[in-house]
Each structure stands twice: as C-alpha cells, then as structure tokens.
C-alpha cells in the first residue's frame, strides 16, 4: 500500500464546509464517502445511529440530525486538547497536530480526519482522544476498548498506512487515576474484514438497496425507525402481513396481554396496600420510623415525607400564557400494538 492522498487542510473551515468535504471530498467528486465515525454504524455497533439512518443520510434522503449524545460530543471536542496534553505528559510521546483530510490510496471512498498524530519509540502513529462519564469507566477496565472506538482507529490506521493507534480516554479531573491509554496495533486480517463490509455498504448505496435492521440493538432500531419515518399518516391503506410474521405478531400480542394482567395485579395490590396503611399511618403520626419485633424477625416501618418541586402547568398557563406556549414541548411516539380479534 502507498501513502494516503491529502485532499485538503480543514484548519479554519466552518462546519458546513467541513461536512461538505467529508461527504463528497473538497471538489465534490466522490459520490459516497465513509469516515472513521461511520465504520461502527455500518457494523451496527454504534450506540447512537443505525445503519439505515447512515445509509439514508449518504443518499441525501434525510439530514444528519443531532445525535442523542450531541452535548457529550461537543464537550468531547472541547476536551480533545486537554486529553492530548495529558497523554503527552504521561507518556512522553510527541504530539503532532494534523488537520488534513486524507483519502485511502486503494479505497477512494475512505476518508480520515485525525485528532492528532503521535511519535513514540515505536515510530509514527495516531492519537485518538476520547472522554466519557465516570459511570462508563468500566467500559475500559482490564485493558478493554469499546469496540466502536476500536473499529474507528483500525480504519484510520488503514487509511494512513500506520502501524499503531493510541486511544486516550479521560473521565475525571485526575489524569493519573481517571484516564486510560490503550494502544491498538494494526491487524491486516481485521482490516480486510472491515473493508469488505465497507465495500458492501458503499455498493448498497450505488445499487439503492437499504440495509435491514437485523442485528441492530432493538431499542436503537425502534428509535432509528421513528427518526426515519417520522409521524404516522392517517388515511394510508392497511398493511397486510404475510404468514412469516405470524409468530412474532402472536408473541407480541401475548406479551402485551401479560403486561396488562400484571398492571391490573399491581393496581389491585396498590389499592390493598393503601387500605391497610391507613391504620399504620394513623399510629405513626409525625414519626418517620417504627418497628414490630417478633421471635423470628423485625418488621421495619418507614413513613417519611419526600418533597419535589415541579412547575404548576395550570397556574403557569393561566398567569403567563405566552411563557407557557414558549416552553411547551411537543413530542411524539409510536409503539407497535397487536390485538387478536377472533373471527
């Protein structure tokens, strides 16, 4: 393999122009492109975007919407220089800024924008800077690397023809304890598998054959379908399902019937608990705790006041109707429901 092609320098570009370059190259002559953050989406392993959404964005059928983690992504971008600084300080490696947009020598659709290049005792490599929340730190325990990040840097190594990539991830204010550095070394067998999948994805774009949702996390798939198709449209004809869908439809109907029965049982139990609690609450008065000791155990009773503050929507609408309209948020949702109608 030869050196990657430098398409342009993105330094100082506004976001719109940067997105244009990433989508079709700086001259607009690349029909379809794949970037580092797209790879895990193609594999169905991205936590925020499904393959069908990416496919439709690439086809120009929908705009790329802000992901659910848009705020975290913005924070991550702001933190990149800080993560890079501490990586350099902890490792002693040399960090090199590189704002180029590069194209793979053999796969013209494959483009890479790096966080940084790095020089260490192993030669030249790539530095990818990440941030996460403290409760996600376990994702990096015992030498682990989240697979969607591993796919990203393996793609970058292939584009740049470099033999290693370091991933530095920070989740706290003490880099000595709240930061990990993982080195991923190039594996050409894995690389070949990645580009085989990417080739198929690009071919599906050219052939206009969208990817199915099979293999995508069900919750992500349902959110993605809601974003793709939007609100339901009254008046459209009824969809007639084939025999192959019978098992799934009957299972949905059975599970939903079970849930209704369980909900009814919970409501019944709650009413009985309320009725039995009246005398107990009367005995407790202003006290928070009580106990009943038996030979076998102790029944511990608590009756604690919990307070919460929330806007009074009725009062807000009455006294400040303009503000009420401004803060009113309209949301929509769709849920599959199956009923068995006996003939």
pLDDT on residue 283: 93
Collapsed DSSP state (helix, strand, coil) of residue 302: strand
Pair of tokens at residue 125: 């490599």
pLDDT on residue 74: 83
pLDDT at 12 over 70: yes
Average pLDDT over residues 195-224: 92
CA distance 111 to 132: 25
User: With bands split at pLDDT 50, 70 and 90, how would you rate the model's confidence at 309?
Assistant: confident
Mean pLDDT of the chain: 91
Using left for φ > 0, alpha for ψ between -120 and 50, and beta otherwise, residue 41 falls in alpha
Return the closest-CA partner of residue 136 out of 35, 241, 47.
47
Average pLDDT over residues 308-331: 82
| pLDDT tens sequence across 80-127 | 999 999 999 999 999 999 999 999 999 999 999 999 999 999 999 999
In the chain, which residues fall in CATH 3.90.320.10?
A: 5-222
pLDDT at 312 over 90: no
pLDDT on residue 230: 85
The domain defined by 5-222 carries CATH number 3.90.320.10: yes
pLDDT at 67 over 70: no
pLDDT on residue 307: 87
pLDDT on residue 319: 87
User: With bands split at pLDDT 50, 70 and 90, how would you rate the model's confidence at 215?
Assistant: confident
pLDDT at 70 over 90: no
pLDDT at 176 over 80: yes
Segment 45-52 long-range contacts (CB within 8 Å, at least 24 positions apart) = 45/147, 45/148, 45/151, 46/148, 47/148, 47/220, 48/220, 49/224, 50/213, 50/216, 50/220, 50/221, 50/223, 50/224, 51/201, 51/211, 51/216, 52/210, 52/211, 52/212, 52/213, 52/224, 52/225, 52/228
Q: What percentage of residues in the chain have a pLDDT greater than 70?
A: 98
pLDDT on residue 302: 94
| pLDDT tens sequence across 126-152 | 999 999 988 989 999 999 999 999 999
Of residues 185 and 223, more confidently modeled: 185
| pLDDT tens sequence across 15-48 | 889 989 999 999 999 999 999 999 999 999 998 8
pLDDT on residue 325: 81
Return the closest-CA partner of residue 216 out of 38, 65, 45.
45
CA distance 145 to 138: 10
**Contact between 86 and 180 (Cβ < 8 Å):** no
pLDDT on residue 68: 58
CA distance 6 to 105: 10
- Most confident among 19-23, 173-177, 261-265, 333-337 (mean pLDDT): 261-265
Pair of tokens at residue 220: 């992500």
pLDDT at 65 over 80: no
Q: What is the dihedral of CA 311, 316, 321, 326, to 10 degrees?
A: -10
Neighbour count for residue 186 (Cβ, 10 Å)? 16
pLDDT at 69 over 70: no
């Amino acid at each position: 393999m030869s050196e990657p092609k430098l398409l342009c320098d993105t330094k100082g570009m506004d976001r719109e122009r940067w997105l244009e370059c990433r989508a079709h190259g700086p001259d607009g002559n690349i029909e379809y492109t794949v970037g580092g953050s797209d790879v895990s989406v193609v594999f169905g392993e991205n936590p925020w975007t499904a393959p069908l959404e990416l496919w439709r964005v690439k086809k120009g059928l929908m705009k790329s919407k802000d992901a659910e983690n848009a705020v975290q992504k913005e924070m991550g971008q702001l933190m990149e220089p800080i993560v890079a600084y501490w990586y350099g300080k902890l490792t002693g490696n040399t960090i090199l800024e590189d704002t180029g947009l590069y194209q793979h020598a053999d796969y013209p659709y494959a483009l890479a924008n790096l966080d940084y290049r790095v020089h260490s005792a192993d030669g030249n490599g790539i530095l990818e800077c990440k941030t996460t929340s403290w409760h996600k730190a376990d994702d990096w325990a015992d030498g682990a690397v989240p697979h969607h990040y591993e796919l990203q840097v393996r793609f970058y190594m292939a584009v740049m023809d470099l033999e290693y990539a370091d991933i530095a991830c920070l989740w706290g204010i003490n880099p000595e304890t709240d930061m990990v550095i993982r080195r991923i070394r190039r594996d050409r067998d894995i690389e070949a598998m990645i580009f085989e999948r990417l080739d198929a994805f690009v071919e599906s774009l050219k052939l206009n054959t969208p990817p199915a949702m099979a293999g995508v996390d069900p919750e992500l798939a349902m959110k993605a379908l809601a974003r793709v198709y939007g609100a339901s449209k009254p008046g459209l004809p009824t969809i007639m399902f084939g025999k192959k869908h019978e098992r799934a439809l009957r299972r949905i109907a059975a599970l939903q019937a079970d849930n209704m029965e369980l909900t009814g049982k919970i409501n019944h139990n709650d009413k009985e608990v309320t009725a039995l609690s009246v005398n107990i609450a009367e005995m407790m008065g202003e006290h928070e705790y009580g106990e009943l000791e038996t030979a076998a155990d102790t029944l511990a009773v608590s009756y604690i006041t919990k307070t919460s503050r929330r806007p009074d929507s009725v009062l807000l609408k009455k006294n400040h109707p303009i503000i009420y309209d401004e803060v009113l948020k309209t949301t929509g949702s769709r849920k599959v429901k199956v009923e068995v109608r006996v003939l």
